[in-house]
Amino acid sequence: MKSIYLIGFMGAGKTSVAKELADILSLKNYDTDREIEQAASKSIKDIFAEEGEAGFRETEGQILKKMPVEDAVIATGGGVILAEQNRFHMRQNGTVIFLQASIEEILKRLSGDDSRPLLKGKNGQAAEELYHKRLPLYTEAAHYVIDTDAKSISEIVDEIMERLKK
Protein backbone atom coordinates (compact mmCIF):
# COMPACT_ATOMS: atom_id res chain seq x y z
CA MET A 1 0.00 0.00 0.00
CA LYS A 2 0.96 3.65 -0.41
CA SER A 3 2.87 5.10 2.52
CA ILE A 4 0.99 7.08 5.14
CA TYR A 5 2.36 10.50 6.10
CA LEU A 6 1.27 11.94 9.43
CA ILE A 7 1.38 15.72 9.53
CA GLY A 8 0.43 18.25 12.18
CA PHE A 9 1.73 20.81 14.63
CA MET A 10 4.37 20.04 17.26
CA GLY A 11 2.76 18.04 20.04
CA ALA A 12 -0.01 16.63 17.84
CA GLY A 13 1.06 13.04 18.64
CA LYS A 14 2.48 12.13 15.21
CA THR A 15 5.38 10.05 16.54
CA SER A 16 3.30 7.93 18.94
CA VAL A 17 0.42 7.49 16.50
CA ALA A 18 2.81 6.51 13.68
CA LYS A 19 4.38 3.78 15.84
CA GLU A 20 1.06 2.25 16.83
CA LEU A 21 -0.45 2.54 13.37
CA ALA A 22 2.61 0.94 11.77
CA ASP A 23 2.41 -1.94 14.28
CA ILE A 24 -1.24 -2.62 13.56
CA LEU A 25 -0.82 -2.44 9.80
CA SER A 26 2.51 -4.33 9.91
CA LEU A 27 4.21 -1.50 8.05
CA LYS A 28 7.59 0.08 8.64
CA ASN A 29 7.71 3.14 10.87
CA TYR A 30 9.80 6.24 10.16
CA ASP A 31 10.14 9.59 11.86
CA THR A 32 11.71 12.29 9.68
CA ASP A 33 13.16 14.12 12.71
CA ARG A 34 15.04 10.98 13.79
CA GLU A 35 16.22 10.35 10.21
CA ILE A 36 17.49 13.95 10.00
CA GLU A 37 19.39 13.54 13.28
CA GLN A 38 20.96 10.33 12.04
CA ALA A 39 21.91 11.78 8.66
CA ALA A 40 23.45 14.87 10.26
CA SER A 41 24.88 13.00 13.27
CA LYS A 42 23.55 15.73 15.55
CA SER A 43 20.41 16.70 17.38
CA ILE A 44 17.66 18.88 15.89
CA LYS A 45 18.60 21.47 18.50
CA ASP A 46 22.21 21.56 17.28
CA ILE A 47 21.19 21.65 13.62
CA PHE A 48 19.04 24.73 14.30
CA ALA A 49 21.84 26.32 16.34
CA GLU A 50 24.54 25.67 13.75
CA GLU A 51 22.72 25.86 10.42
CA GLY A 52 19.64 27.86 11.28
CA GLU A 53 16.10 26.97 10.28
CA ALA A 54 17.00 27.18 6.57
CA GLY A 55 19.67 24.48 6.94
CA PHE A 56 17.27 22.28 8.84
CA ARG A 57 14.52 22.70 6.21
CA GLU A 58 16.87 21.75 3.42
CA THR A 59 17.84 18.48 5.10
CA GLU A 60 14.20 17.87 6.01
CA GLY A 61 13.13 18.14 2.36
CA GLN A 62 15.88 15.76 1.25
CA ILE A 63 15.05 13.21 3.93
CA LEU A 64 11.33 13.35 3.18
CA LYS A 65 12.02 12.41 -0.42
CA LYS A 66 14.17 9.47 0.66
CA MET A 67 11.40 7.91 2.72
CA PRO A 68 9.76 4.85 1.13
CA VAL A 69 6.58 5.66 -0.79
CA GLU A 70 5.22 2.15 -0.18
CA ASP A 71 4.40 0.25 3.01
CA ALA A 72 5.51 2.76 5.61
CA VAL A 73 3.97 5.04 8.20
CA ILE A 74 6.00 8.24 8.32
CA ALA A 75 5.77 10.76 11.16
CA THR A 76 6.91 14.14 9.87
CA GLY A 77 8.15 17.28 11.63
CA GLY A 78 5.57 20.00 12.22
CA GLY A 79 7.12 22.32 9.65
CA VAL A 80 7.41 19.86 6.77
CA ILE A 81 4.35 21.41 5.14
CA LEU A 82 6.05 24.81 4.79
CA ALA A 83 7.66 23.84 1.48
CA GLU A 84 5.22 23.53 -1.39
CA GLN A 85 7.29 20.73 -2.91
CA ASN A 86 7.04 18.72 0.31
CA ARG A 87 3.25 19.06 0.33
CA PHE A 88 3.12 18.05 -3.32
CA HIS A 89 5.46 15.08 -2.78
CA MET A 90 3.41 13.66 0.09
CA ARG A 91 0.04 14.12 -1.64
CA GLN A 92 1.30 12.60 -4.87
CA ASN A 93 3.03 9.62 -3.32
CA GLY A 94 1.04 8.70 -0.27
CA THR A 95 -1.95 9.15 1.98
CA VAL A 96 -1.58 12.28 4.07
CA ILE A 97 -3.29 12.45 7.45
CA PHE A 98 -3.45 15.68 9.42
CA LEU A 99 -3.58 15.09 13.17
CA GLN A 100 -5.39 18.19 14.26
CA ALA A 101 -5.33 19.46 17.83
CA SER A 102 -6.58 22.75 19.20
CA ILE A 103 -3.99 25.34 20.17
CA GLU A 104 -5.12 25.04 23.81
CA GLU A 105 -4.41 21.31 23.77
CA ILE A 106 -1.07 21.81 21.99
CA LEU A 107 0.06 24.38 24.56
CA LYS A 108 -0.91 22.01 27.35
CA ARG A 109 1.01 19.13 25.78
CA LEU A 110 4.12 21.21 25.12
CA SER A 111 4.31 23.07 28.40
CA GLY A 112 7.67 22.47 30.08
CA ASP A 113 9.10 20.86 26.94
CA ASP A 114 12.11 22.78 25.68
CA SER A 115 13.14 20.35 22.94
CA ARG A 116 11.58 22.38 20.11
CA PRO A 117 13.96 25.14 18.95
CA LEU A 118 11.14 27.09 17.28
CA LEU A 119 9.27 27.47 20.57
CA LYS A 120 12.19 27.80 22.96
CA GLY A 121 12.02 31.01 24.92
CA LYS A 122 8.78 32.02 23.21
CA ASN A 123 5.46 32.64 24.87
CA GLY A 124 2.12 31.02 24.09
CA GLN A 125 1.19 33.84 21.76
CA ALA A 126 4.16 33.12 19.46
CA ALA A 127 3.15 29.46 19.26
CA GLU A 128 -0.43 30.48 18.58
CA GLU A 129 0.62 32.73 15.71
CA LEU A 130 2.72 29.98 14.18
CA TYR A 131 -0.18 27.56 14.58
CA HIS A 132 -2.66 29.82 12.78
CA LYS A 133 -0.20 30.57 10.00
CA ARG A 134 0.32 26.87 9.36
CA LEU A 135 -3.23 25.61 9.71
CA PRO A 136 -4.21 26.24 6.06
CA LEU A 137 -1.08 24.43 4.88
CA TYR A 138 -1.86 21.30 6.91
CA THR A 139 -5.38 21.32 5.53
CA GLU A 140 -4.19 21.84 1.99
CA ALA A 141 -1.73 18.95 2.19
CA ALA A 142 -4.08 16.46 3.89
CA HIS A 143 -6.28 13.79 2.37
CA TYR A 144 -7.86 13.22 5.81
CA VAL A 145 -8.14 15.32 8.95
CA ILE A 146 -8.39 13.59 12.32
CA ASP A 147 -9.34 15.57 15.40
CA THR A 148 -7.14 14.40 18.27
CA ASP A 149 -8.35 16.57 21.17
CA ALA A 150 -9.12 14.53 24.29
CA LYS A 151 -8.40 11.25 22.49
CA SER A 152 -5.92 8.53 23.42
CA ILE A 153 -3.34 7.32 20.91
CA SER A 154 -5.35 4.09 20.44
CA GLU A 155 -8.54 6.01 19.77
CA ILE A 156 -6.77 8.12 17.17
CA VAL A 157 -5.33 5.01 15.53
CA ASP A 158 -8.78 3.35 15.47
CA GLU A 159 -10.21 6.42 13.78
CA ILE A 160 -7.48 6.39 11.16
CA MET A 161 -8.11 2.69 10.50
CA GLU A 162 -11.82 3.40 9.98
CA ARG A 163 -11.00 6.21 7.57
CA LEU A 164 -8.60 4.06 5.59
CA LYS A 165 -11.24 1.34 5.17
CA LYS A 166 -13.71 3.69 3.53
Of the candidate residues 5, 25, 33, 138, the single one contacting ligand S3P (CB under 6 A): 33
Of 49 and 161, nearer to ligand S3P (C-beta) is 49
Closest by CA position to 90, among listed 24, 30, 19: 30
Query: Please, what is the minimum distance in Å from the beta carbon of residue 165 to ligand S3P?
Result: 27
Query: Please, what is the minimum distance in Å from the beta carbon of residue 12 to ligand S3P?
Result: 7
Of 108 and 162, nearer to ligand S3P (C-beta) is 108
Query: Please, what is the minimum distance in Å from the beta carbon of residue 33 to ligand S3P?
Result: 5
The sign of the torsion formed by the CA atoms of 104, 109, 113, 118 equals negative
Of 83 and 118, nearer to ligand S3P (C-beta) is 118
For residue 67, the 8-state DSSP code is S
* Buried-state track 23-38, b at ≥16 Cβ within 10 A, e below 16: eebebebbbbbebbbe
Nearest 5°: the CA angle 100, 106, 107 is 160
Beta strand extents in 12-119 (DSSP E only): 28-31, 72-75, 94-100
Distance CA 133, CA 112 (A): 23
Q: Is 44 in the site for ligand S3P (CB under 6 A)?
A: yes
Of the candidate residues 10, 17, 22, 97, the single one contacting ligand S3P (CB under 6 A): 10
Total of residues contacting ligand S3P (CB under 6 A) = 10
- The site string for ligand S3P over 113-152 (x = CB under 6 A, - otherwise) reads ---xxx----------------------------------
